[in-house]
Amino acid sequence: MHGVVNWAVHFFMLDEGPLIWLSDFLIICASLGIVGVLTKFRLWKWLWDEWLTTVDHKKIGIMYMIAAILMLFRGGTDGLLMRAQLAWPNMHFLSADHYDQIFTTHGTIMILFMAMPAIIGFFNVAVPLQIGCRDVAFPYLNAISFWLFFFAAMLFNLSFVVGGSPDGGWTSYPPYVENQFDPGPGENYYLVALSISGIGTIATGINFLVTILRMRAPGMTFMRMPMFTWSVFVTSVIILFAFPVLTVALGLLLIDRDFGSHFFTVDGGGAPMQYVNLFWFWGHPEVYIVILPIFGLMSEVISTFSHKRIFGYSAMVVSMVAIAILSFVTWVHHFFTMGAGPGVNSFFGVSTMAIAIPTGVKVFNWIFTMHKGRLEFKSAMLWSLGVIPNFLIGGLTGVMLAVPPADYQYHNSYFLIAHFHYTLIGGTVFGVFSGLYYWWPKMFGVLLNEKLGRWHFWTFMIGFNICFFPQFFLGFMGMTRRMYTYPAGYGWGVVNLISTIGAFLMGVGFIIFVYNVLWSARYGERDTTGDPWDGRTLEWATTSPAPHYNFAIIPTVKGRDAWWLMKQSGEPINGPKDVPFRPIHMPNNSGRPFIMSVFFFLMGAGFVFQWWILAIIGFVGVLICMAQRSFEYDDSHYIPVEEIEKTEAAAGRL
């Protein structure tokens, strides 16, 4: 009995002090709150029918976005905890162990469970509408992708209160993370959760490639596709080439840890560098996976709010393809200092700098798009414009880091931290906010408040610069990354304090955003037209939110900026009056993606704790779900014409 209690106390980390108790308390309160509300308002059935079983890309997109915002909160809290600790020399409110866990979960969550779902959320929200089709090519698979991501994120977050978080950094380099030096479930959580969500991401890549290749509306040739759709296409190709490599890196490391093999160990003939190469062969393309879609949506936003077509469309496309190709030949710049030699380092230094060229092309095209345009500084536009100078700082310091001899000076210092936060926040997060303000009406039928949006933008943007700009200098002053505290006397104290103040200002910006969401849900302006920004692409042709079937009649595309052209020529969206509606073929909802992902979760937990029975149960469950699907022949239905007429009439579109 005593043994069991001891085990449980350790397992649930009750011996780890107040931080864990508080988290336990908050998690229990939040869970009880959710269960309570769902039960009180009898929402369980609604939740299951409308959300958990949905295969509708629009709803899946919304779920991705909600998850991403929650994860931004979790990762942001981690960031603020770290900044609090670093605000002044010799602070010890986080122990070294806790600090390590927190920077690891912060980095991992921000990239894999915040940035990725945010951009994949936008894929779902916008692409099928932009190319004028009724859903993605494989809606059922799309639901699987989402639930795999969701349960992987749950598993990863669980680590904080059950068994301990990973602490090997978001890169999880061996040999440190091998069992010998880092026993316990922590790193297994990282490996398993990333593998599971990686499967979902690969499926998303395939799904959107086929969707864009095969489901474009008639007349939409490749060179008439909206820029965002182009960026999704290119990104999906990168996903397809990069993610399997990550799967292998993580899988092999997990086999090392769970089954004692010697891929990356120091003894037994292991080769830790092989992991580092595999990891970054995925890792560098990954940073383009989270920025290219942002470039795409910025092109949409800037052209919409300049009321001009995008400048240099083909140059934009070519530069994206060039970035995609180059992104696969730069991975060594993450470890110049690991001794590959001057020849190799020079090659990768030059290839990295070369990426600045197509990126520069894009920046100039955005600027020329605005030139002589009728500019409208809505919040979405502010965020997109904010990307330009901030991402520029990130990019230019990136070129500095790409100079191998110089990199020996600031490698893994705060200079690097500042650099990648300028690209990831100044690029991806700003872009995500831009996309949220832009597509919010399409997602929810409500506009976010512009005034709050401006407050949100300015506080966050200024806070961000106060937080991260000084860190370039901290790097030059010798402060290295992943340092849990530092002694007085180096002159770092005041600079760090400024940085921390900036971080909290960003927190304020985030709170304004959340307030904006809540305020707008209640008082926000409804979007009755479906086209609040005088948009150019087809997602603005349908209602906000779009009906289940997206378009009653699939539009015929006559050129770039299809909806703009239709508005110019006064063409109605539902075609000439005499063309009758036809029944629309749609996929059925299914609970299986959800259930299958639960089994994945169980299997994952089995691998985390080496509970093989649980792993086998999960695995068999997954197989059974797949076999059942193989025997499912009747998985779609028709929406009858009367229902379409009713919906279109209600939207005033008959």
Site for ligand HEM, rule CB under 6 A: 76, 79-80, 82-83, 103-104, 106-107, 110-111, 115, 169-171, 417, 421, 424-425, 428-429, 467, 481-483, 503, 506
Q: For residues 216 and 411, which CB has a smaller minimum distance to other proteins in the complex? A: 216
Q: Of these partners, Cu ion, ligand HEM, other proteins, none, which one is at the site of residue 210 (CB under 5 to 8 Å by kind)?
A: other proteins
Q: Is 267 in the site for other proteins (CB under 8 A)?
A: yes
Query: What is the spatial distance between Cα 338 and Cα 352, in angstroms, rounded to a whole number?
Result: 17
Peptide linkage before 572 cis (omega within 30 of 0): no
Q: Is 59 in the site for Cu ion (CB under 5 A)?
A: no
**Residue 635 corresponds to which tokens in the numbers above?**
């998985």
Query: What is the spatial distance between Cα 242 and Cα 94, in angstroms, rounded to a whole number?
Result: 36
For the chain, the C-alpha Rg in angstroms (whole number) is: 25
Q: Of these partners, other proteins, ligand HEM, Cu ion, none, which one is at the site of residue 284 (CB under 5 to 8 Å by kind)?
A: Cu ion
Cα–Cα–Cα angle for 438, 506, 456, rounded to 5 degrees = 35
Q: Which of these segments, 60-68, 78-86, 428-436, 579-587, binds other proteins (CB under 8 A)? A: 579-587
Query: What is the spatial distance between Cα 68 and Cα 149, in angstroms, rounded to a whole number?
Result: 11
Q: For residues 322 and 497, which CB has a smaller minimum distance to ligand HEM in the complex? A: 497
Q: Is 585 in the site for other proteins (CB under 8 A)?
A: yes
Smallest gap, in angstroms, from Cβ of residue 249 to other proteins? 8
From the list 515, 538, 381, 525, the residue with the least C-alpha distance to 441 is 525
**Residue 108 corresponds to which tokens in the numbers above?**
């991992």
Give, in order, the Cα–Cα distances in Å from 178 to each of 95, 184, 246, 266. Answer: 22, 10, 17, 9
Q: For residues 517 and 602, which CB has a smaller minimum distance to ligand HEM in the complex? A: 517
Binder among 129, 278, 287, 381 for other proteins (CB under 8 A): 278
Q: Is 605 in the site for other proteins (CB under 8 A)?
A: no
Binder among 255, 361, 375, 651 for other proteins (CB under 8 A): 255
Q: Is 411 in the site for Cu ion (CB under 5 A)?
A: no
Query: What is the spatial distance between Cα 540 and Cα 546, in angstroms, rounded to a whole number?
Result: 9
Smallest gap, in angstroms, from Cβ of residue 335 to Cu ion? 10
Q: For residues 331 and 601, which CB has a smaller minimum distance to Cu ion in the complex? A: 331
Of the CA atoms within 13 Å of residue 648, those in its CB half-sphere come to 24
* Cβ neighbours around 22 below 10 Å, total: 10
Query: What is the spatial distance between Cα 297 and Cα 302, in angstroms, rounded to a whole number?
Result: 8
Smallest gap, in angstroms, from Cβ of residue 284 to Cu ion? 4
Smallest gap, in angstroms, from Cβ of residue 139 to other proteins? 7
The one-letter amino acid at 571: E
Q: Is 1 in the site for other proteins (CB under 8 A)?
A: no
Q: For residues 351 and 413, which CB has a smaller minimum distance to ligand HEM in the complex? A: 413
**Residue 436 corresponds to which tokens in the numbers above?**
């949220």
Q: Of these partners, other proteins, Cu ion, ligand HEM, none, which one is at the site of residue 213 (CB under 5 to 8 Å by kind)?
A: other proteins
Write the binding mask 240 to 279 for Cu ion: x where contact by CB under 5 A, - elsewhere: ----------------------------------------
Q: For residues 107 and 205, which CB has a smaller minimum distance to ligand HEM in the complex? A: 107
Query: What is the spatial distance between Cα 176 and Cα 182, in angstroms, rounded to a whole number?
Result: 7
CB-CB contact of 100 with 482 (8 Å): yes
Q: Is 206 in the site for other proteins (CB under 8 A)?
A: yes
The secondary element (H helix, E strand) that includes residue 639 is strand 636-639
Q: Of these partners, other proteins, Cu ion, ligand HEM, none, which one is at the site of residue 92 (CB under 5 to 8 Å by kind)?
A: none
Smallest gap, in angstroms, from Cβ of residue 85 to ligand HEM? 8
Cα dihedral 505, 507, 511, 513 sign: positive
Smallest gap, in angstroms, from Cβ of residue 327 to Cu ion? 8
**Residue 36 corresponds to which tokens in the numbers above?**
């309570």
* Cβ neighbours around 213 below 10 Å, total: 12
Q: Of these partners, ligand HEM, other proteins, Cu ion, none, which one is at the site of residue 378 (CB under 5 to 8 Å by kind)?
A: none
Q: Is 548 in the site for other proteins (CB under 8 A)?
A: no
CA torsion, ordered 574, 576, 578, 582, to nearest 10 deg: -30
The secondary element (H helix, E strand) that includes residue 81 is helix 57-86
Give, in order, the Cα–Cα distances in Å from 254 to each of 309, 433, 601. Answer: 49, 35, 16
The one-letter amino acid at 401: L
Footprint of Cu ion on 283-302 (CB under 5 A): 284
Query: What is the spatial distance between Cα 374 and Cα 175, in angstroms, rounded to a whole number?
Result: 57
3-state DSSP call for residue 191?
Answer: helix
Q: For residues 100 and 135, which CB has a smaller minimum distance to ligand HEM in the complex? A: 100
Smallest gap, in angstroms, from Cβ of residue 40 to ligand HEM? 34
Footprint of other proteins on 144-203 (CB under 8 A): 202
3-state DSSP call for residue 584?
Answer: strand
Q: For residues 431 and 555, which CB has a smaller minimum distance to ligand HEM in the complex? A: 431
Q: For residues 155 and 242, which CB has a smaller minimum distance to other proteins in the complex? A: 242
Give the residues lining the site for Cu ion (CB under 5 A).
Answer: 284
Give the residues lining the site for other proteins (CB under 8 A).
Answer: 132-135, 137-139, 141, 202, 205-207, 209-211, 213-215, 217-218, 240-241, 243-245, 247-249, 252, 255-256, 259-263, 265, 267-271, 274, 278, 281, 554, 583-587, 623, 627, 630-631, 633, 636, 638
